[in-house]
Amino acid sequence: MAQEKTYLFDRPQNVRRVLWLLYAAALLVLLLDLVVHRHLVHPWEGLPFFYPVYGFVGCTILVVVAKWMRRVIIRPEDYYRRDDLPPQPGGEERLP
């Protein structure tokens, strides 16, 4: 059997490169904040690093709250199916 082709992200160093690119870009826009004079409308916009902090903290809160919410709303995969639908004798339910 032929060895399967190695794809782009099968090499860990390529994944690392993408991540470093992201870190570098993030650092760049962070430093630009110090150089560029932004025009402000909202009172909070003037805070240093408002947008980066808001984005990072916002997303973290989003995920943490969503995880907590999931504990309340999660149900087994067949929660609706087992009562709503007739049993599927061996049939694959998700056909395209």
Number of residues that bind other proteins (CB under 8 A): 58
Cβ-Cβ contacts under 8 Å for 48 (sequence gap 6 or more):
33
Binding mask 2-41 for other proteins (x = CB under 8 A): ---x-xxx---------x--xx-xx--xx-xx--x-xx-x
Q: Does 1 bind other proteins (CB under 8 A)?
A: no
- For residue 48, which amino acid is it? P
Q: Does 93 bind other proteins (CB under 8 A)?
A: yes
User: How far, in Å, CA of 74 to CA of 77, rounded?
Assistant: 9
Binding mask 63-92 for other proteins (x = CB under 8 A): xxxxx-xx--xxxxxxxxx--xxx-x---x
For the chain, what is the largest distance between any 2 Cα atoms, rounded to a whole number of angstroms?
66
